[in-house]
């Protein structure tokens, strides 16, 4: 699926904004490690979703492929956050 | 979507693939199988990293403190900008504006090279500080995961250079568009993988 120029530009702005935000959160010292991890990994999953939808056009994929990539994002994010929580525990 | 359905030039009629169904993958299905396999390989690496980290938290946190985090953040911005350029190039190619598509591909290649140069500089700094693949399990994962990713990026840059020349020739063949879409999808995968590599290795504590 080919996106409009406006949609692509907004996707890029969103990606830049989330990157700056998650970097700022990670570099600020007042946030607990597990909360920080949850935020930066959620931001990563959100950025991944933006790339999949707006740059790769996942919404126009057959169901099986959409499910694969959605599951890929979800599993990665969950595994990373849970393992960090276990490590902190 | 309207532009997608425009009639191709008559010279390309023999080369024309069947019309794309409403729900279809851009590029080639076989290539998407490769992309899915590659993404799965990285998922296994992320899982293994996370598993080892949960048993050696202090080693991983100490290693992470030695990394050049701002450089990783800059590289994230470089990659998302390159993906934006390439998605815009695909759009231009669909609109048959091959000159603009070629310019955007060149921009993507340049940004890819910026990423690679910054990454090599980062490796140089780490190695100069005495951090090698055998320093700790953290640095083993750091060099392996970012190294495999860098290798993907170099392959992507080479592929885009070749695709750029083909797009510039502008044969009008729909097959060229399929090849271009495969290359673009591969580049977006590289971007997608980095979206997890950066927070996993550099940020999450």
Within 12-51 of B, beta carbons closer than 8 Å to A belong to 22-26, 32, 36, 39-40, 43, 46-47, 50-51
- Whether residue B16 lies inside any domain: the answer is no
- Whether residue B123 lies inside any domain: the answer is yes
CATH number of B118's domain: 1.20.120.80
- Whether residue B40 lies inside any domain: the answer is no
- Whether residue B14 lies inside any domain: the answer is no
Q: Which of B192, B193, B194, B197 to mutate to test the interface with A (most CBs of A within 10 A)?
A: B192
Note the pLDDT of residue B21.
63
The per-residue pLDDT for range B113-125, each reduced to its tens digit, is 999 999 999 999 9
ipTM at complex level: 0.94
Q: How many domains does chain B have?
A: 1
Rounded to two decimals, the pTM is: 0.90
From CA B59, how far away is CA B70, in angstroms rounded? Answer: 21
Q: How many Cβ atoms are within 10 Å of B134's Cβ, its own excluded?
A: 9
Largest CA distance in chain B: 65
- Whether residue B51 lies inside any domain: the answer is no
C-alpha Rg value of chain A to the nearest Å: 15
- Whether residue B101 lies inside any domain: the answer is yes
Contact in structure between A77 and A40 (CB atoms under 8 Å):
no
- Whether residue B22 lies inside any domain: the answer is no
The per-residue pLDDT for range A17-62, each reduced to its tens digit, is 999 999 998 888 666 678 889 999 999 999 999 999 999 999 999 9
From CA B85, how far away is CA B120, in angstroms rounded? Answer: 23
* CA distance readout (Å), B169 to A81, B52, B75: 48, 50, 31
From CA B45, how far away is CA B141, in angstroms rounded? Answer: 8
């Amino acid at each position: 699926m080919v996106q409009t120029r406006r949609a692509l530009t907004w996707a890029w702005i969103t990606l830049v904004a989330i990157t700056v935000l998650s970097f700022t959160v990670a570099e600020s010292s007042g946030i607990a490690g597990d909360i920080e991890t949850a935020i930066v990994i959620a931001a990563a999953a959100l950025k991944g979703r933006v790339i999949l939808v707006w740059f790769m056009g996942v919404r126009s994929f057959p169901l099986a492929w959409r499910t694969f990539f959605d599951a890929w994002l979800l599993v990665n994010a969950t595994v990373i956050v849970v393992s960090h929580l276990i490590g902190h525990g | 979507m309207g532009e997608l359905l425009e009639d191709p030039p008559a010279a390309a009629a023999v080369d024309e693939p069947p019309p794309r169904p409403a729900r279809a993958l851009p590029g080639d299905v076989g290539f998407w199988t490769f992309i899915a396999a590659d993404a799965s390989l990285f998922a296994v690496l992320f899982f293994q990293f996370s598993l080892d980290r949960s048993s050696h938290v202090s080693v991983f946190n100490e290693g992470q403190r030695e990394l050049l985090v701002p450089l990783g953040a800059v590289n994230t911005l470089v990659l998302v900008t390159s993906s934006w350029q390439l998605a815009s190039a695909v759009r231009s190619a669909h609109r048959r504006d091959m000159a603009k598509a070629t310019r955007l591909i060149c921009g993507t290649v340049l940004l890819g090279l910026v990423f690679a140069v910054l990454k090599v500089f980062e490796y140089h700094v780490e190695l100069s500080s005495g951090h090698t693949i055998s320093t700790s399990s953290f640095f083993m994962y750091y060099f392996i995961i970012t190294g495999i990713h860098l290798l993907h990026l170099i392959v992507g840059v080479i592929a885009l250079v070749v695709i750029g020349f083909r797009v510039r020739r502008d044969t009008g063949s729909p097959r060229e568009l399929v090849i271009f879409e495969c290359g673009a999808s591969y580049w977006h995968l590289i971007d997608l993988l980095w979206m997890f590599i950066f927070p996993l290795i550099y940020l999450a504590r």
